[in-house]
Amino acid sequence: MSDAITRRGDAARRRVLGDAHVDRSRAEPDALNAPFVDLITDAAWGHVWGRETISDRERSMMTIALLAGLGNYEELALHVRATANTGATRDDVVEALMHVAIYAGVPRANHAFKIVRDTFAEMEETQ
């Protein structure tokens, strides 16, 4: 990938997930997952989150809905925590999960609501 895409991806990743998360993910170089971290930095963060066509809030809502709908719950909690940086509100998250219930299934949304509730509670405890 180009250096510009990597820089844009790293900036977007830090803006959304926070410096602490990104620094932790890069703290211990690992020959096994370093290529993967580079891939997601360029592809997900540089090519997608780095675009200016929609807001981070809107991307956040879509990401939460997709992760919940697909059952990727560990990533769901990460992106719920990121709402502190993206501007997506609790009401936005509820609306995203309501769509999950209709379009991906009530069991997925039900479990996602539990994770979201627990994640928001955890976020409140650390404030």
Domain extent at residue 37: 1-53
Domain count within the chain: 2
* 36 and 94 share one domain: no
| Residue at which a domain ends, from 12, 31, 53 | 53
* 24 and 75 share one domain: no
* 41 and 96 share one domain: no
Within 18-89, residue ranges assigned H as helices are 19-27, 34-40, 56-70, 73-86
Quick: pLDDT tens for 77-98.
999 999 999 999 999 999 999 9
Quick: pLDDT tens for 17-41.
999 999 988 887 677 888 898 999 9
CATH number of the domain that 61 lies in? 1.20.1290.10
In angstroms, the CA 22 to CA 25 distance is 5
